């Protein structure tokens, strides 16, 4: 009988625990989206649930094992209560009112208000005030000197942060050969938009102020293999910016909390080395829509990215641009899409662009193709992407080798190979 009673109490506390957790999650998301009133309402609901949990009586006739399980939930709820009360005090100070313990449940009609826009500065201040419920720790900050540059950020993590900085400088900072505008065939509209958003503002800051201030977030989307990565690299080269090439694998870690620290350090280094371009290829793989079944590590990573992005966008003097590339924009989280306000579609190449791509691929090669042949190829490769055309040229370049056979390959001179 004691075991049954203890199990019922534990189940009841677990129910309170899950309800409180759900309300806290909603409150955190509301703060991320710049909705302090909604966040306060959810925190109040969570606090009411936790007060009811604390009032639940634990009978004396409970086994030691069940009592231990009950104690675990009681400790967690007590810890959360302290943190939620602190968040309510912070939110109350911002609104100019106190945040008393709620005396009644906030109804769904009061909580589920329509979403409304908020400034990036209000989102940043709402998220950075509490190290407990921002799901990723405090955001990095930096001081500006008198000429608008950035002073190095003081890191508090010691050797661990130094290792992350070293890892970013060695594996994420892209030092591959520069890509120039001329290396990217076609995509004139995309180039023009990127010129206005990134390159010109770095060269003429005085002209791009007020309403002309460029967006800090850009989304390149479209079919794969059509130059989204090359466009991003060309932007970094033309603007003489540090290029951070971020992949999903570089942001994941087997250690809990390491991914969030890496994101914080990444943005910190980007601010130190500005002008900077943070490029996230296949951004949908790490910033997809948040689901109820999603693991906590993935949620924390997304929340930390949003916090850090708001941090760099809140300072107009920072020259840090975040560029995401995806083939599946519909799978991105809404909060991420709202921050990547500039969106450029990168389409499949048309016949003229396909002809330019073929010429670029054949440059420096011996070939007998006439202009008429190139025109015919450009027409017959309808639906090919830029990477498809490269693969086609590479396959054609192998044909003279295959025709020789293994024995002749060992003796023939390079200038004796037949042209393509």
CATH number, domain containing residue 395: 1.10.8.60
**For the whole prediction, is pTM greater than 0.85?**
no
305 shares its domain with 378: no
209 shares its domain with 93: no
334 shares its domain with 397: no
Distance of alpha carbon 37 from alpha carbon 122, whole angstroms? 12
133 domain-assigned: no
Low-confidence ranges of the chain (pLDDT < 70): 1-8, 33, 59-62, 94-161, 177, 252-257
Distance of alpha carbon 230 from alpha carbon 220, whole angstroms? 11
Helix (H, G, I), strand (E, B) or coil at 242: strand
Name the nearest CA neighbour of 344 among 211, 196, 177: 196
194 domain-assigned: yes
Three-point CA angle 50, 56, 60, nearest 5°: 140
Distance of alpha carbon 390 from alpha carbon 370, whole angstroms? 19
254 shares its domain with 403: no
114 domain-assigned: no
- Domain boundary residue among 310, 328, 345? 345
- When divided into structural domains, the chain yields a total of 3
113 domain-assigned: no
89: containing domain: 2-108+122-128
Instruction: Report residue 404 as tokens.
Output: 């020789």
């Amino acid at each position: 009988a004691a075991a049954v009673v203890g199990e019922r109490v534990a189940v009841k506390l677990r129910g309170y625990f899950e309800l409180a957790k759900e309300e806290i999650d909603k409150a955190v998301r509301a703060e991320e989206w710049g909705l302090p009133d909604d966040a306060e309402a959810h925190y109040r609901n969570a606090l009411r649930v936790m007060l009811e949990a604390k009032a639940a009586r634990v009978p004396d006739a409970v086994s030691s094992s069940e009592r231990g399980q009950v104690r675990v939930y009681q400790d967690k709820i007590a810890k959360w209560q302290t943190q939620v009360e602190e968040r309510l005090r912070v939110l109350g100070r911002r609104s100019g009112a106190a945040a008393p313990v709620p005396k009644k449940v906030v109804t769904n009609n009061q909580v589920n208000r329509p979403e409304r826009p908020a400034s990036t500065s209000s989102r940043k201040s709402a998220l950075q005030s509490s190290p407990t419920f921002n799901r990723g720790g405090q955001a990095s900050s930096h001081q500006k000197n008198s000429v608008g540059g950035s002073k190095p950020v003081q890191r508090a993590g010691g050797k661990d942060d130094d290792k992350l900085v070293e890892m970013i400088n060695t594996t994420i900072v892209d030092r591959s050969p520069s890509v120039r505008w001329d290396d990217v065939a076609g995509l004139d509209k995309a180039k023009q938009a990127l010129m206005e958003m990134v390159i010109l503002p770095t060269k003429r800051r005085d002209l791009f102020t007020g309403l002309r201030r460029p967006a800090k977030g850009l989304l390149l989307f479209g079919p794969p293999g059509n130059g989204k990565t090359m466009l991003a690299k060309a932007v970094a080269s033309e603007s003489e910016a540090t290029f951070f090439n971020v992949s999903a694998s570089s942001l994941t870690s087997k250690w809990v909390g390491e991914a969030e620290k890496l994101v914080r350090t990444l943005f910190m280094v980007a601010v130190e080395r500005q002008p900077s371009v943070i490029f996230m290829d296949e951004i949908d793989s790490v910033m997809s829509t948040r689901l109820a079944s999603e693991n906590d590590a993935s949620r924390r990573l997304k929340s930390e990215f949003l916090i850090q992005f708001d941090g760099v966008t809140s300072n107009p003097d920072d020259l840090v641009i975040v560029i995401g590339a995806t083939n599946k924009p519909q799978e991105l989280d809404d909060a991420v899409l709202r921050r990547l306000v500039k969106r450029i579609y990168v389409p499949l190449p048309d016949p003229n662009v396909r002809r330019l791509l073929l010429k670029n691929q054949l440059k420096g090669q011996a070939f007998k193709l006439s202009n008429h042949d190139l025109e015919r190829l450009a027409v017959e490769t309808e639906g090919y992407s830029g990477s498809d055309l490269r693969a086609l040229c590479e396959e054609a370049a192998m044909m003279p080798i295959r025709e020789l056979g293994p024995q002749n390959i060992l003796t023939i001179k390079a200038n004796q190979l037949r042209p393509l």
